[in-house]
Structure 1
Amino acid sequence: MSERFSPSGTLGAMHIETIAPPDLDWQEEALCAQTGSDFFFPEPGSSVREAKRICALCPIRSACLEYALDHDERFGVWGGLSEKERLELRRAAH
């Protein structure tokens, strides 16, 4: 948990705002957490086939994809989609 303080000289100078970190409990249930990150963050030009196969079996695939889209994850396979596929999905949505 982190804290933000209002700048001095403002009405809320003594106010402390608490910012909760995102809820990442879903990651503990992810199959990728049990297999390691090598499949999900391959070297450029390497296949993401194995990562997508694992994602297809994962019970929290949709939560993973939603997180990646919400947080603009630019690298790796998230929710069964590669960087390029997520970018195309974002472009199609706009």
Structure 2
Amino acid sequence: MRELFLLEPDAEDAGWQDRALCAQTDPEAFFPEKGGSTREAKKVCLTCEVRDDCLEAALFNDERFGIWGGLSERERRKLKKRAV
């Protein structure tokens, strides 16, 4: 996996959101209440073809809420910390 958080999202592939599986499912699953399950959202992410693009955008934009690229905010924070 490339150093996602150091790269600006690819401008040529800005349409990745249109191919995201989450766009075809219940958005509430990707923004659970505190302590809520993230299992269903992460299951969708596992088979999504744009998972890496999603994670890259979330890291670049410092997304604080929700499941992005199959990771929770806490998991994204840990990923950034390990890479520094």
TM-score with structure 2 setting the length: 0.82
Match of 2:51 among 61, 66, 69: 61
Q: Work out the percentage of aligned pairs sharing the same amino acid.
A: 58
Which 4+ runs in 1 deviate beyond 4 A? Answer: none
- Provide the rounded CA distance (Å) in 2 between the counterparts of 1:24 and 1:41: 22
Residue equivalent to 1:47: 37
Q: Tell me how far 1:24 sits from its aligned partner.
A: 3.5
Residue equivalent to 1:29: 19
Q: Tell me how far 1:36 sits from its aligned partner.
A: 2.7
- Provide the rounded CA distance (Å) in 2 between the counterparts of 1:34 and 1:68: 19
Residue equivalent to 1:77: 67
The AA in structure 1 aligned to 2:73 is: E
The number of aligned residues is 73
Residue equivalent to 1:88: 78
**Higher-Rg member (1/2):** 1
**Structure 2, gaps ≥5 residues long:** 1-10
**Structure 1, gaps ≥5 residues long:** 1-21
- Provide the rounded CA distance (Å) in 1 between the counterparts of 2:46 and 2:65: 19
More helix by proportion, 1 or 2? 2
